[in-house]
Chains A and B, each alone.
Chain A
Amino acid sequence: MTSDRKIIIDVRDLDVSIGGCPVLERINLQILENTFTGLIGPNGGGKTTLLRALLGLIRPERGEILIQGRHLGTGDSRAWIMGYVPQKIAVQRGAPFSVLDTVVMGRYGKIGLGGRPKKKDREMALSCLEEVGMAHVARQLIGTLSGGEQQRVFIARALCAEPKVLILDEPTAAVDVAGQDSFYRLLHRLREAYSLTVFMATHDVGVVPIHCDAIACLNRTLHLHGRPEEILKKDVFKKLYGSEVEMVMHGKIPHRMIGKHHD
């Protein structure tokens, strides 16, 4: 299933330090086109840092990042290929922007410096809002929406840039259980419709085997990368999370981890 696909993201020997402390070491990661990869690992393991390096928000110490075979340095525009859905933007309740305004911002990179959004850009933003089921609040202020609704709006904003790769950082952190389910359904639908490659960091190990077709385990270095059912085994998690963990199995795949009791 994966052998004939092309590599779209290629990370080679990546080292990243923050304030002199190594956060990522020797990361080698190849992500294939049209896959849905889940990035898991303990808090402080470097998930967000890896995403930020991919997005060009942080300067790596060593190594390189190639996207569609093109070398991308820090600060080089990703507008042509990447859509980014941040973990949680601290949207002030009274931020003076409508939902539509914020989605049109997704077009700004393509419009270029000094240009103005045209009718075409606004129409596109509106159709992206329709795609995520948020068109009915287009004129409402962004700050009046709930966390889950804002998340959908930010997905619309990312889509609006016509990306091939969608990068999400803990997208369901602000979403309740019912919301998560519809969120993942939406994500799968968009993935099909726009043939997106999705790379998502999450702390929720349970969702990865259900929704992702590849998994990467990160704790400073990349421990494993492959198909979920092949690698989600006990010893991997012990290595990754550093403690004995118990798996609640869900058929052949682990569903939940619980710290082991020592009595």
Chain B
Amino acid sequence: MTELLSYSFMQNAFVAGVLVSVICSVISFFVLVNRLSFIGVGISHAAFGGVALGILLGISPTLSAVIFSVLTAWMIGVVSRKGMLHEDTTIGIFYAASMALGIVIIGLSSGYNIDLFGYLFGNILSVTRQDLWVVGGLGLLVLGAIFYFFKELLFISFDEESAQVSGIPVTFLYYLLLTLMALTIVISMKVVGIILVSALLVIPAAAAYEVTTHYRQVLIVAVVIGLVSAIAGLSLSYRFNTASGATIVLLAAALFLLLFGFRWVRGNLRESPGSEKCPVPPGNPEAAEEKPARQDSA
């Protein structure tokens, strides 16, 4: 490990991996409770169109990816929120179209000296000091916004109408959340790549949710799972010379399966008729004895 960290490119990679995994894990909680994972897929593929556009116009691909994916996120939001189209239809069209746009543009800008593969699948070893500043700056913005609006985002994920009656600006917060997702995707691009980033927007919280019940625990465990996947994934990818982004995602998916299996086994061992998972209607004689319903162990 010390040898690993003696290279400056590895230092950059680890800092980027840690930052990105924390940000993705926190966002993944809101993706989970608001069921936004498919929107995540849509936005991340739009980012590819943005990168290609940046290359064509000769501006920073990161900047163009930010603009393009934020605009796409808002468009997906408008179309599905106004009920003009089903959300999955909207995303299905947007994500294929912006992918196609990206491919056509790349073909046109024949130069091809840009690391296209790196954007698609991630190339964490190419992360520069300057990239770290971008990741750090945008990441701070994302986490700061989530911290500030935390309780409102919780309320909306639980009951949007009542939140609106309470005077909470639900529409603004919905678009804010989409914007934060888009920013998270862009800063994760170099680490895990466009194709795989949507996995990091789902897996950490989904895995944490298998073994926790309360939102505070889900958040904390999600961040731990994200960090473990990123650090262990990077080390393994260095050791076995595998693609870093794919290794991180595979590790996160393996953790998910492990926790899923753990819950399943535990549930099956403990499960017996009338126990916590199956509520017995009141008045049923079986209900009298073994009632204590699932306690929140916060």
**A in complex with B:** yes
A: residues with CB less than 8 A from B are: 55-57, 75-79, 82, 84, 86, 89, 94-98, 101-102, 105-106, 108-109, 111, 113-117, 137, 139-141, 144, 146, 157, 161
Say yes or no: A89-B159 contact (C-beta < 8 A), given A140-B293, A141-B294.
Answer: yes
Additional pairs, 17, CB under 8 Å, beyond known A86-B161, A96-B33: A55-B164, A57-B161, A57-B165, A78-B167, A79-B167, A84-B161, A84-B165, A94-B209, A95-B33, A102-B158, A109-B168, A113-B152, A114-B148, A116-B151, A139-B298, A140-B294, A157-B162
Residue of B148, B154, B166, B213 near A106 (CB, 8 A) is: B166
In the complex, what distance in Å separates the CA atom of A147 from the CA atom of B133? 50
Contact residues in A for B168 (Cβ distance below 8 Å): 108-109, 113
Q: Which B residues are in CB contact (< 8 Å) with A116?
A: 151
Evaluate contact between A82 and B165: CB separation under 8 angstroms: yes
B162 near A86 (CB under 8 angstroms)?
Answer: yes
Interface residues of B, CB < 8 Å — how many? 30
User: Contacts of A144 on B, CB cut-off 8 Å?
Assistant: 279, 293-294
Residues in A with CB closer than 8 Å to B214 are 96-98, 141
**B31 → A minimal CB distance (Å):** 13
A-contact 0/1 string along B267-298, CB 8 Å cutoff: 00000000000010000000000000111101
- Contacts A89-B159, A98-B296, A105-B155; A76 near B167 (Cβ below 8 A): yes
User: How far, in angstroms, from A53 to B215 measured CA to CA in the complex?
Assistant: 32
- Asked whether B165 lies within 8 Å of A78 as measured between CB atoms, the reply is yes
Chain A residues contacting B298 (CB-CB under 8 Å) are 98, 139
CB-CB under 8 A from A95, the residues of chain B are 33, 158
Contact check, A139 vs B295: say whether CB atoms are below 8 A apart: yes
Q: Is the CB of A78 within 8 A of B149?
A: no
Residues of A within 8 A of B164 (CB): 55-57, 75
Chain A residues with Cβ below 8 Å from B169 are: 113
Which residue of the partner chain B has the closest CB to A106? B166
With contact pairs A117-B151, A144-B279, A146-B279 given, residues A105 and B162 touching in the complex (Cβ less than 8 Å): yes
Most chain A CB within 10 A, of B163, B167, B169, B293, is at: B167
Is B218 positioned at the interface, with any CB of A under 8 Å from its CB?
yes
Q: How many Å lie between the Cα of A105 and that of B163 in the bound state? A: 8
Pairwise interchain contact A96-B294, C-beta atoms closer than 8 A = no
B279 touches A105 (CB 8 A): no
A141 and B162 contacting across the interface, CB-CB below 8 Å: no
Chain A hits for B149, CB < 8 A: 113-114
A89 vs B166: C-alpha distance when bound (angstroms): 16
A-B pairs, 10 with minimum CB distance = A77-B167, A109-B166, A96-B215, A79-B167, A79-B166, A84-B165, A109-B167, A98-B296, A105-B155, A144-B293
A125 to chain B minimum Cβ distance, whole angstroms, is: 13
Q: Which residues of A contact B167 (CB under 8 A)?
A: 76-79, 109
Q: Per-residue CB proximity of B132-167 to A under 8 Å, as 1/0?
A: 000000000000000011011011001101111111
Chain B residues with CB under 8 Å of A108's CB are: 151-152, 155, 163, 166, 168
Minimum C-beta distance from A191 to chain B (A): 20
How long is the Cα–Cα vector from A157 to B161 in the complex, in angstroms? 13
Compute how far the CA of A141 lies from the CA of B155 in the bound complex, rounded to whole angstroms.
Answer: 15
**Binary CB contact string for chain B from 153 to 195 against chain A (1 if under 8 A, 0 otherwise):** 0110011011111111100000000000000000000000000
B293 surroundings in chain A (CB, below 8 A): 137, 140, 144
Bound-complex Cα distance A22 to B277 (A): 45
**What B residues does A78 contact at CB under 8 A?**
165-167
Please name 22 pairs of A and B residues whose Cβ atoms are closer than 8 Å in the assembled complex, sorted by A.
A75-B164, A84-B165, A86-B159, A94-B209, A96-B218, A97-B154, A97-B158, A97-B215, A98-B214, A98-B296, A98-B298, A105-B154, A105-B158, A105-B159, A105-B166, A106-B166, A113-B149, A113-B168, A117-B151, A139-B298, A140-B293, A140-B296
Q: Tell me which residues from 201 to 245 in chain B have a Cβ below 8 Å from any Cβ of chain A.
A: 209, 212-215, 218
Closest residue of chain B to A100, judged by CB? B296
Q: Give Cα A84–Cα B168 distance, bound, in whole angstroms.
A: 14
Give the chain B neighbours of A77 by CB distance below 8 A: 166-167
| Bound form: Cα–Cα A57–B159 in Å | 13
CA A56 – CA B164 in complex, angstroms? 8
Measured in the bound complex, the distance between the Cα atoms of B295 and A141 in whole Å is 7
Instruction: Give chain B residues whose Cβ lies under 8 Å from the Cβ of A82.
Output: 165
- Complex Cα gap A94–B215 (Å): 10
| Interchain nearest-CB distance for A58 vs B (Å) | 10
B158: chain A residues at CB < 8 Å are 89, 95, 97, 102, 105
Q: Answer whether A55 and B215 are a contact pair too, CB < 8 Å, given A95-B158, A144-B279.
A: no
Q: Taking the nearest CB of chain A, how far is it from the CB of B125, in angstroms?
A: 37
The reply to whether B295 and A84 contact each other, CB–CB distance below 8 Å, is no
| Complex-state Cα separation, A75 to B160, whole angstroms | 13
Determine how close the nearest CB of chain B comes to the CB of A182; give it in whole angstroms: 12
Q: Interface centre among B154, B155, B296, by most A CB within 10 Å?
A: B296
Max count, chain B CB within 10 A of own CB: residue among A77, A108, A111, A114: A108
**In the complex, what's the smallest C-beta–C-beta distance from A78 to chain B, in angstroms?**
5
